[in-house]
A and B are shown apart, each in its own frame.
Chain A
């Protein structure tokens, strides 16, 4: 519809043709042409993931291996997560921080033998690669980007049986673990992880086998393709942060409620960018916090909606929309700490009207991760 944006070449994932065939409504997202929804539509696709299984094309996300002398030690220069303590085959959520304690990107790290396998946001790939290149200089560790890998996420209560039908050894994988798995002869790297609050898997595979693997998964009972629209409402219900909305280079892990990702040793030793500021916020508490918000009425409050208390600006919505599981609007945002307690009454300025809302517990919908 827009002639100007048509001039910018959008990248296509290896599943582009399949996405089209499945009725994908393709839109620009972080420089990629991605399905916002398929034929079923966002609401039905959201429910599909909560009730059965959803297959997402997440090939736009960046896959990187860190290889060399001591990748865990080298990565700890750049992230506050405990990577040295990450056991073989385990996955950890952490973030690249900057000298101000802000977040440059959030990522998953898996220890897979001698390497660390990283998955980063599509929108931050160039920044991440630059940051890794600069940060790893002289460490003996090197970042290797994987353009040869495609990625899908299989999420929902029917995900485990669907994948187990093709690769039985995945059934017993603990949540936040990863391993190499041959799925019907396709060499995959599978982690039990996701971005929906449901049990599920994220699967990296060679680009030239991606469509074959996606078709195998879609042929399993209960599996349907689901687009980025539902991925966003699912992660919001699960209280999970979206980089660029809920996290950015000015928000710290402590403000974002991600202090749980920083273990005791890292808090004591520091040694990551912004350690002093993050340490002070851990000790004294941050001036603002990310909170869940439930508007009182039916009107959704979108990102950038101003948050008021007693007529005074106290924060801003960073993600907001409609929660299909609750049949109600939900949001996340940052508020001054003295307004962050659960149940605190706030006003959301939606189209010039103050609409009442309350601080709510996160997640909005309970996580259902595999506990073994």
Chain B
């Protein structure tokens, strides 16, 4: 069973059996606008929670993507490097960025569930 969580920086992480699939929220994708370049981490790279792990560039500007939880990169989504527009089309699906092997599951506790994140986004509008 997967558990979906969000950060205040608008990343999402889908936890499943000790791994986390990471991407950016639909709100973030919409705010960034048309995404034209994605810089993904190397498989094997290790990030602490909150460390910069990837970069997205929209037509407007570059934005950093932070690791929602600490861990080692075990897979990256080459599809979005080849076709960055996928992130806009399906930010919380096919537009995922990378998968981490979670180092400390306890770090999940500071993340928001879907309802809390939706309320947070609403507070920003």
Contacts and interface: CB of A to CB of B under 8 A. Distances in A.
Contacts of B61: 302
Contact of A299 (B39, B58, B59): B39
Contacts of B33: 37, 41-42, 229
Contact of B59 (A1, A233, A351): A233
B60 A298 contact: no
B62 A322 contact: no
Nearest to A25: B33
Contacts of B124: 1
Nearest to A351: B55
A298 B124 CA distance: 32
Contacts of A37: 33
A235 to B, nearest CB: 13
Max chain A C-beta neighbours (<10 A), residue from B36, B59, B62: B59
Contact of B36 (A1, A300, A351): A300
A42 B59 contact: yes
B37 A329 contact: yes
B55 A322 contact: no
Contacts of B59: 42-43, 46, 229, 233, 321-322, 324
Most A Cβ at <10 Å: residue of B55, B61, B62: B62
Interface in B26-72: 33-34, 36-37, 39, 55, 57-62
Secondary structure dominating the interface of A: mixed
Contacts of A351: 39, 55
B60 A299 contact: no
A83 B70 CA distance: 64
B37 A299 contact: yes
B55 A300 contact: no
A37 B60 CA distance: 10
Contacts of A322: 36-37, 57, 59
Contacts of B34: 41-43
A302 B37 contact: no
A300 B58 CA distance: 9
Interface in B54-109: 55, 57-62
Interface string A311-339: 00000000001101000010000000000
Nearest to A328: B36
Of the listed residues B34, B37, B62, the one surrounded by the most CB atoms of chain A closer than 10 A to its CB is: B34
B91 to A, nearest CB: 14
A205 interface: no
A298 B83 CA distance: 11
Nearest to B64: A351
A299 B39 CA distance: 8
A32 B39 CA distance: 33
B124 to A, nearest CB: 6
A36 interface: yes
Contacts of A300: 36-37, 57, 62
Contacts of A36: 60
A324 B58 CA distance: 12
A300 B35 CA distance: 11
A43 B57 CA distance: 13
B55 A298 contact: no
B36 A302 contact: no
A60 B67 CA distance: 41
Contacts of B55: 351
A300 B124 CA distance: 29
A229 B61 CA distance: 10
A302 B62 contact: yes
A2 B37 CA distance: 27
A36 B61 CA distance: 12
B65 to A, nearest CB: 13
A41 B60 CA distance: 11
20 contacts: A1-B124, A36-B60, A41-B33, A41-B34, A42-B58, A42-B60, A43-B36, A229-B33, A229-B60, A233-B59, A299-B39, A299-B57, A302-B61, A322-B36, A322-B37, A322-B57, A322-B59, A324-B59, A329-B36, A329-B37
Given A299-B39, A302-B61, A322-B57, 15 more contacts: A37-B33, A41-B33, A42-B58, A43-B36, A43-B59, A46-B59, A229-B33, A299-B57, A300-B37, A300-B57, A302-B62, A322-B36, A322-B59, A351-B39, A351-B55
